[in-house]
Amino acid sequence: MSLMANNWDHNIVLLSGELFRCSNHDKALKCVFTVAPTLGKHDYGDKLVLKAQASAVIEIPFSASPEPSVEWKYKGGKLTDTRRFREETVAGMTSLSMSKVTKKDAGDYSMTLQNQLGKATFTIKLIVQGLLSLRW
């Protein structure tokens, strides 16, 4: 097959499971490399210790193609306070901003990246140290 011929598709599956797909339709050559989500290098262990009323941002780099869906969870469910806990994902980086944490915010946080080739998950336990919140 000539690469200049019209209307062809060709897929190459690498041993790692990644897919390289090229097509030529109406003399428009298009090549796409697809890969399952993987987490990039980061400095987080399995715990994050913060003092009460502190703020922090967890930033997790990743690679995936096509762009994956990203979901942050708290104790397996939705984030409870979207004013103080904000998630953002842009070009190979997802983050969770936490503002003025309290003891009630302690627990397991997870993030899942997923596309049609697979998924990757990051989990961290937030430990909040300090005085309990007092109400007057």
Spatial distance between the Cα atoms of 74 and 77, rounded to a whole number of angstroms: 5
Q: What is the pLDDT along the chain (136 residues), one digit of tens a residue?
A: 445 556 777 777 666 666 667 777 777 777 777 888 999 999 899 999 999 999 999 999 999 988 999 999 999 999 988 899 999 999 899 999 999 999 999 999 999 999 988 999 999 999 999 875 555 5
Spatial distance between the Cα atoms of 14 and 6, rounded to a whole number of angstroms: 25
Identity (one letter) of the amino acid at 54?
A
Under CATH, what is the fold of the domain 37-129? Immunoglobulin-like (2.60.40)
List, edge to edge, every strand of the sheet that includes 69-74.
47-51, 118-129, 107-115, 69-74
What is the residue extent of each domain of the chain? 37-129
Residue 87: how many other CB atoms lie within 10 Å = 15
Contact 122, 43 (CB under 8 A): no
